[in-house]
Structures are given as structure tokens and as C-alpha cells.
Amino acid sequence: MKKISVFCDGGARGNPGPAAIAFVVSEDGKIIYKFSKKIGKTTNNVAEYQAVIEALKWLKQQTTNNKQHTTINFFLDSQLVVNQLNGFFKIKDAKLRNLIIKARILEQEIGRKIFYNLISRRQNKIADSLINQTLNSVSR
């Protein structure tokens, strides 16, 4: 059984402010894909959700072609987003509620077990670095 790890991050300079998302995918410990992009002006929380959604979209494309049973672990450094995705925290903000609905639909379409885990920013340094590189390139 393959083990997929997805390290996600989203960030905004200012809150709201110019924002970017990033994710890094590894399979059995080896990095197989990195992605980052600018997403315009938004909040940190929206950016975190957008990173998860973008990663889920990528995974959906990959799993369509590969029916092998896979466990997918997401790692994020946002306590709020992890706890909302795991159903521990209520989602009061309408924008975040709409984003979690998108995530749930993608999870169902992927059809694999997906787990969301909280890690420190230090443990998420590759995705965090991609965010900063993307935001730095945007502001020039």
C-alpha cells in the first residue's frame, strides 16, 4: 500500500493581503511533486483552505489513473483549518464553510482515506518556503 503525504501551506502578507498557496507531495517519503501559486488578496485562513483544495484537485487527477489503495495524510501548520477539517471546530465564516464543502466533494471523488494532521511551521518548511518565494516574486 502506498503512503502519500501532502504538506500544505497558505499565507497572506497582511490579513487580508497578497496571498499564495503551496503544497508538496511525497510518496513513501520521496518528493514527487511541488506546487505554488499566487491567489490574489485574501486572508491566511482562506489561503490555507485553498492550498488543501488545490492539492485535492491534483490528487484527484492522479488517483483517477491509479486505482491502487493509498492512504493520504495531509500535514498543515494551521490549527484552525486542521481542526475544522477533522470536524472538531465549528465553521462560522461563510467563506470558509463554502471552501470546506469543496474539499469534502473532492475527498469523495478521490475515494481514499484522507487524514489531516497538525504540524509545526518548522516541520512544514518546504511548503512554507514555497509560499515565501512565490510572494517575494509577486511583490517585485
Instruction: Express each pLDDT in 130-139 by its tens digit.
Output: 999 999 984 5
**Percentage of residues of the chain with pLDDT beyond 70:** 93
In this predicted structure, what is the pLDDT of residue 78? 97
In this predicted structure, what is the pLDDT of residue 106? 97
Superfamily of chain region 2-138: Ribonuclease H-like superfamily/Ribonuclease H (3.30.420.10)
Domain boundaries, the chain: 2-138
pTM as predicted: 0.93
Residue 67's pLDDT band (boundaries 50, 70, 90)? low
**Spatial separation of the C-alpha atoms in residues 45 and 16, rounded to whole Å:** 10
